[in-house]
Amino acid sequence: MSSEHDCKSRVPTRNINVSCTDCSLNPICLPVAVNDNQLEELDNIIKRSKPLKKGEHLFRASDPFASIYAVRSGTIKTYSVTEDGEEQVTGFYLPGEVLGIDGISTNIHSNSAKALETAAVCEIPFEKLEVLSAQIPTLQRHFFQLMSREIQADQQLIMLLSKKSAEERIASLLLSISTRHTKRGLSASGFRLPMSRNDIGNFLGLAVETVSRVFTRLQKQGIIHVDGKEVEVLDMQGLCHMSNGSESSAKTA
């Protein structure tokens, strides 16, 4: 299963207990906010205990909030459950991304977080981080930034949900994933979707069937090639066009 995706697993995260110093994700993760001495302090408060198996929860909505988490490998989805019991996927978190910031206000998580595949995370106890933040201005600021970025991501999603068509939504998601891959030094054009069609649909506010149909449509238009979860972007520009409402359909003006 993993042998045929060698090209994707370039990131050397074999060792569970690597310190931030040695972690290949440090240029995009919390460490960017601190200098070498401070990194050690940060390192000291981080717990690296939790490798999750597919389907396991990192935390659940209504759990007390104690830590935030940085994804080291794998993918985590967050979701909440509506009053009437429906699930709403609120985000997908890839390596280097931080989740769990929800719940700071209430001290209780408002989302659940579940591993979509085997995943390793770094746990950062929030109280300790708060103390450290007060001491390290750059860290405080970085933390503010993290939250602010979360807000911006949410607002982009809001825009997407309220203004974009099914095609535009899917295109946007693909681009988002592509971009985030690039940040880790991975291919922008070829990647594996870690989530199911169902999760995609749920996240984007579309029925599963619609997701499926859009994928086939995009493929017929020669913009992407899909094989199950494996995606190859053939026409990046076309995809960009499509993602921000390029009139009706693929007029390469």
Partner DNA sequence: CGACTACTTGAAATATTTCAAAGTGAGTGG
Partner DNA sequence: CCACTCACTTTGAAATATTTCAAGTAGTCG
- Cβ neighbours of residue 131 under 8 Å, at least 6 residues apart? none
- Shortest distance (Å) from residue 11 CB to DNA: 22
Cβ 229 to DNA shortest distance, Å: 6
Min dist. Cβ of residue 114 to DNA (A): 12
109 vs 51, 61, 96, 157, 225, CA distance in Å?
Answer: 20, 5, 21, 20, 38
Q: Is 84 in the site for a second copy (CB under 8 A)?
A: yes
From its phi and psi, is residue 125 left (phi > 0), alpha (psi between -120 and 50) or beta? beta
Would you say the C-alpha torsion 139, 76, 113, 19 has a positive or negative sign? negative
118: contact with DNA by CB under 7 A: no
Segment interacting with a second copy, rule: CB under 8 A, options 40-48, 114-122, 127-135, 191-199: 127-135
Q: What is the distance in angstroms between the CA of the first residue and the CA of the last residue of the chain?
A: 42
Q: Does 205 bind a second copy (CB under 8 A)?
A: yes
Query: Which amino acid is located at 11 in the chain?
Result: V
The enclosing H or E element of 192 equals strand 190-192
Pick what 177 binds: a second copy, DNA, none; C-beta below 5 to 8 Å, kind-dependent: none
Is 108 a residue that touches a second copy (CB under 8 A)? no
Helix and strand numbers (H, E) in the chain are 7, 11
If the CB atoms of residues 54 and 141 are measured against a second copy, the closer one turns out to be: 141
Q: Does 212 bind DNA (CB under 7 A)?
A: yes
Q: How far is the CB of 111 from a second copy (least distance, A)?
A: 8
Q: Which residues pair with 92 in a beta bridge?
A: 77
Q: Which does residue 150 touch among DNA, a second copy, none (CB within 5 to 8 A, set by kind)?
A: a second copy
Among positions 16, 32, 151, 207, the unique one binding a second copy when judged by CB under 8 A: 151
Helix axes 236-243 and 166-183, enclosed angle (nearest 10)? 130
Binding to DNA (CB under 7 A): which residues in 170-199?
A: 196-198
Binding site for a second copy (CB under 8 A): 80, 82-84, 86, 88, 90, 101-106, 110-111, 130, 133-134, 137, 140-141, 144-152, 154-155, 157-159, 161-163, 202-205, 244-245
